[in-house]
Each structure stands twice: as C-alpha cells, then as structure tokens.
Amino acid sequence: MRLPRDLAGEDLAKALKVFGYEITRQTGSHLRLTTMNRGEHHVTIPRSESLRVGTLAGVLSTVAEHFEMSRDELIEKVF
C-alpha cells in the first residue's frame, strides 16, 4: 500500500492513538509517543508540517514490528 503524502507529525500522532500511543513529552521539534499495549514501546517523530516519506516509513515499520504485523496491515488500520 502507498504511504500518505503531506502528513504532519501531529496527524501521525493522532492516527497512532488506535494502537494506544499517547504523547508523553515534546523535546524541541520532536514528539515522543508511548504505548503500553503489548509491553512498553516508545517512538519519536518530528513535529513537522510534512513528514518525509522515509521518516514515515521508518516510524511505521517500528510500530508494525512491535505489534507483530506487516507495515501494509498497519497502514490499512491507521489510515
């Protein structure tokens, strides 16, 4: 599945709430999200207006690995 373009960091943080991620802190221009589902897991995303495709792919891959699913399955559930 194709990754969305022009997705803001805060929009990604809202989309990841489906998996229990909540913003736990902000340092400069980055958000730190944490979930306690399936064990504690942290992911850091930039708070930019438009995430780069590689950055978005990396974040989604990390989340998918934590939840033991493919990135495509994760994209279908989030978007």
pTM assigned to the model: 0.90
Cα–Cα distances (Å) from 18 to 6, 29, 49, 75, 79, in that order, read 20, 23, 21, 11, 10
SS3 call for 1? coil
Q: Structurally, what CATH architecture does the domain formed by 9-78 represent?
A: 2-Layer Sandwich (3.30)
DSSP state for residue 5 in the 8-state scheme:
S
Distance in angstroms (rounded) separating the CA atoms of residues 67 and 53: 21
**pLDDT one-digit tens code per residue, 4-54:** 888 999 999 999 999 999 999 999 999 999 999 999 999 999 999 999 999
- Position 3 pLDDT exceeds 80: yes
Distance in angstroms (rounded) separating the CA atoms of residues 69 and 67: 6
65-78 average pLDDT score: 94
- Position 1 pLDDT exceeds 90: no
